[in-house]
Amino acid sequence: MTRALLALGSNLGDRARYLQDAVALMPDLVAVSPVYETDPVGGPDGQGPYLNMVVRLDTELDAGELLDLSHRLEEKASRRRVVHWGPRTLDVDVLWLDGVTIDEPGLVVPHPRMADRPFVLAPLRDVAPDLVPEGWEDRFDHLGVHRLGVLDELSGH
């Protein structure tokens, strides 16, 4: 079994429902972070805030299989890839697999920007604190990250 970490985000429609549906379909799930509401980063102006979280799997799936899972979950949520970093019903990124390094077109593990994204680091700290650098909050002037609570308790977000 390998520890795998996936980041999930949504800023269109019933954001909490998209996250809940994706988490319900996760195999080998062992930990779910609280949900954070975050400012959008990059992409077009005028986007609404995201709900972000990180899940931990202890799995035998390899990185390619996890990427396939991510794409299936996004497809189930009717994700449309129209604008780079644009609004989305569901975004699922493979962040980390213990002992695995991959640099291929379409898949880089560890995720190349996870250490630069407070919307990833905050929930990652909840499920894999060993991967979050000490004092990471000091690197960001304005985090734009607000803890909302446990996914199962959210509705209408």
List the catalytic residues: 79, 88, 91, 93
CA distances from 152 to 57, 75, 101, 107 (A): 18, 22, 33, 30
Chain-centre distance of CA 131, in angstroms?
15
Using DSSP, state whether 148 is helix, strand or coil: strand
Distance CA 81, CA 71 (A): 11
Record the tokens describing residue 50, joined without a space: 């995201």
